[in-house]
Amino acid sequence: MINTEVNNQTTYSSQSTKNAILVIGGAEDKVHGKEILQTFFQRSGGTDALIGIVPCASREPSLIGERYYRLFNDMGAKEIKVLDIRDRPSADDLVYRSFVEGCTGIFLTGGDQLRLCGLLADTALMNRIVERAQKREISLAGTSAGAAVMGHHMISGGSSAEPPNRSLVDMAKGLNIIPQVLIDQHFYNRNRLARLLSAISSHPELLGIGIDEDTCAMFESDGVIQVIGKGAVTIVDAREMSHSNQTQVNGNEPLSMHNLKLHILGYGDRYDLHRHLPLN
């Protein structure tokens, strides 16, 4: 794990070059220490990095793509390409597919997760990105909408400021990058705990993960999550839930969910996905 960051001054160990999947809660620091983006850059190879930026979740892909291009260019990446995909046929672009075969990192920007999945789900390009990320041949990062799509099941919308209930959350199919998790982002910043609980009530076999802004849950190849950034990562484990009225209630009637486990992880904390335990 990276454990050598102190007071936002990062000294990278030999582990910093290992590929990882970085799930970012959105609004990551792009101005000051840029720790999360710097970590992705280093995990993608540092000055040898070949980074692909996928901005198609945004309705302003040129603007967003250019912004991340400048950020990684200023860090010294060897090559950067914006994969500006605006319709599904564009995902078959041979230049893009060739780049994905040789790249060392892919960054999925924020925007609308339904738009991202609508353009890329089940395309040969995205399937190859997922395959390479799962094999840890590349580092893959997603922020905001790019984080929401990580699971097989995805939170596509909803609201907050209500008790958990079935109408509070909208679900869709994600990109299946980390199938065993269900991600929500901008978490405490937008009061989304009830939304995540509502989603988990339908999928208690999944690990619910809520990620604050400027915060990253970094999934390592050994099955450990490490937290970096300024906020917290909230984990909801419902595998041993002893009771739920999820199938009996309708609409906005409050849900009952008994015997859940809740973990709040701060900077540097780790969580073992295999044993479902936080690590000291």
Q: What is the CATH number of the domain that holds 257?
A: 3.40.50.880
Task: Indicate if the pLDDT at residue 4 is higher than 90.
Answer: no
Q: How many CB atoms lie within 10 A of CB 14?
A: 6
Catalytic residues: 144, 186, 213
Q: What average pLDDT does range 253-258 have in this prediction?
A: 98
Angle between helical axes of 61-75 and 35-43 (0-180°, round to 10): 70
Q: How many CB atoms lie within 10 A of CB 242?
A: 8
Structural domains of the chain, count: 1
**Cα-trace Rg, the chain:** 18
**DSSP label at 48?**
G
Residue 278 falls inside a structural domain: no
Residue 279 falls inside a structural domain: no
Residue numbers of the domain that contains 136 = 17-273
Residue 9 falls inside a structural domain: no
Q: Which residue has the higher pLDDT, 9 or 115?
A: 115
Residue 193 falls inside a structural domain: yes
Among 232, 168, 227, CA closest to 196: 168
Task: Indicate if the pLDDT at residue 11 is higher than 80.
Answer: no
Task: Indicate if the pLDDT at residue 119 is higher than 80.
Answer: yes
Residue 246 falls inside a structural domain: yes
Q: Which residues, other chains included, contact 26 with Cβ-Cβ below 8 Å and sequence gap of 6+? A: 110, 143, 144, 147, 185, 186, 211, 213
Residue 145 falls inside a structural domain: yes
Residue 108 falls inside a structural domain: yes
Tens of pLDDT, residue by residue over 194-252, are 999 999 999 999 999 999 999 999 999 999 999 999 999 999 999 999 999 999 999 99
Task: Please report, as a single letter, which amino acid is at residue 72.
Answer: F
Residue 2 falls inside a structural domain: no
What pLDDT sits at residue 10? 39
- pLDDT mean across residues, the chain: 94
Confidence category of residue 127, pLDDT binned at 50, 70, 90: very high
- The residue behind tokens 């995909």 is 85
Among 167, 175, 169, 205, CA closest to 190: 169
What pLDDT sits at residue 15? 59
Contact 125, 66 (CB under 8 A): no
Tens of pLDDT, residue by residue over 55-106, are 999 999 999 999 999 999 999 999 999 999 999 999 999 999 999 999 999 9
Confidence category of residue 280, pLDDT binned at 50, 70, 90: confident
Task: Indicate if the pLDDT at residue 2 is higher than 60.
Answer: no
Least confident range of 2-16, 77-91, 135-149, 227-241: 2-16
Task: Please report, as a single letter, which amino acid is at residue 163.
Answer: P
Task: Indicate if the pLDDT at residue 111 is higher than 70.
Answer: yes
